[in-house]
A = this chain, B = another copy of it.
Amino acid sequence: MSEIIIHGVPGSPYVRMPLITCEEKGAPYRLSPMGMGDSRAPAHLARQPFGRIPAMEHGDFQLYEAQAIVRYIDQVCPGRSLTPADARARARMNQVMGIVDWYVMPSISSGLAFNRVIKPMFGMPVDEAAVAAALPQARTCVAALADILGDQTYFTGDAISLADIAAAAHLDFMPLFPEGRDMLTGSPLAAWLQRMMSRPSLQKTTMAALRAALEPQPA
């Protein structure tokens, strides 16, 4: 099949979601890297009119919206399905993907990880008020996701699904800052996150791995 091209900034959890999905499916893909400010440039606005990332090209088919992209890759690429067939398991997958978009993104990703991990990387001042404001919802996210995970290996049972990919792309920042480590302590999410982070699909798509792969190689 033809190569899938993902346009986006390395390090973004939403850009990472389709990259992990391609890795899990064994699909040929390429990250077309963008800088932090490139999402408002005319070339990108032609692909994504809201100026957000990621955007996908697959042959003559263009698509934006991260959930739509990962569901499309799962459907068109050969390999084991990342969407359970059982209605209740699939409902839990979709619920986790919704929890990630509505609650994890504003609290754990934008509130905590952006301030504790990303901003210090770029020498930007940390907004402690935003960190404090994000904590209650972040704790509710961890409790709600742990409740769905229970004693299962992955969110929908023994095999990974798009739910694990969406959640791991956001939650793998948590061990990098004290509030995140505190919330994971004693939660079944801690062992789940270790399982996810040990998968090649996650290891090949960390911000560090993506940046290293993009650097010019010595001759």
A residues sitting closer than 8 Å to B (CB atoms) are 49-50, 52, 61, 63-69, 71-72, 75-76, 87-88, 90-92, 94-95, 97-99, 101-103, 137, 140, 143-144, 147
Q: Which residues of B contact A102 (CB under 8 A)?
A: 50, 52, 65, 101
Closest chain B residue, CB of each to CB of A99: B65
Q: Are B87 and A75 in contact (CB under 8 A)?
A: yes
Evaluate whether A65 and B143 lie within 8 angstroms (CB atoms) in the complex, with A76-B87, A87-B72 already known: no
Q: Which residues of B contact A99 (CB under 8 A)?
A: 50, 65
Known: A50-B140, A69-B91, A101-B102. 5 other contacts (CB 8 A): A50-B137, A61-B91, A63-B91, A71-B94, A72-B90
Q: How far is the CA of A98 from the CA of B94 in the complex (A)?
A: 13
In the complex, 23 of the A-B residue pairs with CB atoms within 8 angstroms, ordered by the A residue number, are: A49-B140, A49-B143, A50-B102, A50-B103, A50-B137, A50-B140, A63-B95, A64-B95, A65-B94, A65-B98, A65-B99, A66-B98, A67-B97, A68-B94, A68-B95, A69-B91, A71-B90, A71-B91, A71-B94, A72-B88, A72-B90, A72-B94, A75-B87
- List the number of copies, as a whole number: 2
Main secondary structure, interface of A, reads: helix
Evaluate whether A144 and B50 lie within 8 angstroms (CB atoms) in the complex, with A61-B88, A102-B65 already known: yes
Q: Which residues of B contact A61 (CB under 8 A)?
A: 88, 91
Q: Which residues of B contact A71 (CB under 8 A)?
A: 90-91, 94
Q: Which residues of B contact A66 (CB under 8 A)?
A: 98
CB of A147, distance to nearest CB on chain B (Å): 8
Closest 7 CB pairs of A and B: A65-B98, A68-B94, A68-B95, A72-B91, A65-B95, A75-B87, A76-B87
CB of A5, distance to nearest CB on chain B (Å): 15
CB of A209, distance to nearest CB on chain B (Å): 27
